[in-house]
Structure 1
């Protein structure tokens, strides 16, 4: 790490200086305006910003809290001790942990030499990442669950990768890019985070996972994967047969966990694919409608306009 960033990380923040001067509790107003201690990304990120980093505040116990975003904690130097569901975990230098929005955790006081980098990431950031990931891996399942279902249980992925030089290098490059942004920073950060996740998947033998053992959750993940792959001709009866579940039971579970019906999820996927083709291909609109699995042109135009407020032709012209 270059000296500028190292010095910046070691320097006392205003919050840390107040703590050393006698402030005994975390000032919650810096993190949320709500009664519950749910840290708000809008307090930490600029408008329209999807990802940033923040040094964890040292010298004080950080009480139980949740976030409305996905958080990665990375131990740049020293160690980090967290308590999650009464389980104490101590991360050492070079290790990182992914926390979903529903996890409740607290953090023991860090010492001066403990430098922890908190990655603050809005869910929308991962739309790009999920586009090129294989569904059958631990990180994809973690992201799909937290982004696309209403499964409100805490989950984490703890990566014990301190000896992996490639992963350490990627994290360092992301930190440098976020601290010293350039004209191409947004694209660079997406690429680097994508590469980091790929490397973490390749080293999944070094991960400790935590989640509530929930069979319903696994069924919903399988349904979402099925829709992602077979959206053109997929139907509830086929996935019910694959999962060996009655279609009516699966229908209820999908509604319970996503607040949408199977048909609505399928339609949402088809429309998003149609938008992608309108933006990035030269296919005629009639062909796009067929490619995404619709036979009735009138119906497609109706639902497209209802969702996007414009016709497919007008949407393409505005791209």
Structure 2
């Protein structure tokens, strides 16, 4: 309930948000480096009360949690009123504005760098709305606005997890970062279990599903995967799917497949007794010379030296 310095200035007559606190950009894109120290992946910030917060977006993922009172937003021209205990996830491309909150309205904003979710995603199955939201959000080429609105005020286990995460963030301690990751992972699992209470908004869900299915195909079939095969499975012309992959990820299908194969090769180098030639075959390459070339380009060393280096 305590007033922040910004709120004190507003109550003393400052009628506009001081944008320099949030960005150096002329467009009102809130910069995470203004709010979060470099090297930190997640923090929380109480939303500024008593003033309309003008239309903006962020270069990070924001989760807003109504700790007390209510939150009135206009998200992509859609009016949303969140009640106590409700949550909304916003990706970097969504535009929203927030109506002035009263003294009793306590909104907690989670400020999160996308890479925070690299670990969390390993805990989740990929066939759910949260994983789909996070997967595309992790790629900066994806420029469609999206939000997930969770109507979970009555779910005590979810409220308890949110309370624990807030306490961990306000009171740093030993193993604090690991605890936060695990708690956020558990929170997402519980939100997925309550998917009947989620309102989803995306400006292009269909294209997003094509990309997610392509990732899944590469993950499962990287040894023999081809663009023609996945195009046939998805009933899409290969040139159309190729353009979508490039648009959403900044990479071609061939580059995505190569990235997966090289990552798998490094994994096998670290945990198996296979020879380098056996690993080359296991990840789907027939030409050892080509494999050595792309491996050295990516990792700056040969596979054999990589073994001893690591």
**What TM-score comes out, normalization by structure 1 length?**
0.91
2:214 to 223, 241, 250: 223
1:86 to 69, 77, 89: 77
- Residues 138-149 of structure 1: pairs in structure 2 closer than 5 A: 138-148=129-139
| Residue 167 of structure 1 pairs with residue 130 of structure 2 | no
Give the corresponding residue for 1:73: 64
Offset at 1:269?
1.8
Give the corresponding residue for 1:260: 251
1:132 to 123, 129, 144: 123
Give the corresponding residue for 2:145: 154
**Counterpart secondary structure, 2:189:** helix
| Residue 182 of structure 1 pairs with residue 173 of structure 2 | yes
Query: Which sections of structure 1, spanning at least 5 residues, go unmatched?
Result: 1-9
The 8 Å contact of residues 84 and 106 in structure 1, kept in 2 or not, is answered as: yes
Give the corresponding residue for 1:7: none
The 8 Å contact of residues 55 and 97 in structure 2, kept in 1 or not, is answered as: yes
The two structures, once aligned, show a CA RMSD in angstroms of 1.8
Offset at 1:153?
1.3
Offset at 1:64?
0.4
Query: Which sections of structure 2, spanning at least 5 residues, go unmatched?
Result: none
The 8 Å contact of residues 154 and 211 in structure 1, kept in 2 or not, is answered as: yes
* Greater CA drift, 202-211 or 267-276: 267-276
Offset at 1:174?
0.7
The 8 Å contact of residues 265 and 280 in structure 2, kept in 1 or not, is answered as: yes
Change (3 A) 1:312 1:77: farther
The 8 Å contact of residues 285 and 312 in structure 1, kept in 2 or not, is answered as: no
Aligned partners of 1:54 and 1:310: how far apart in 2? Answer: 43
Change (3 A) 1:131 1:213: same
Aligned partners of 1:230 and 1:149: how far apart in 2? Answer: 25
Give the corresponding residue for 1:4: none
Give the corresponding residue for 1:244: 235
1:312 to 303, 306, 310: 303
Aligned partners of 1:244 and 1:51: how far apart in 2? Answer: 40
2:25 to 17, 34, 43: 34
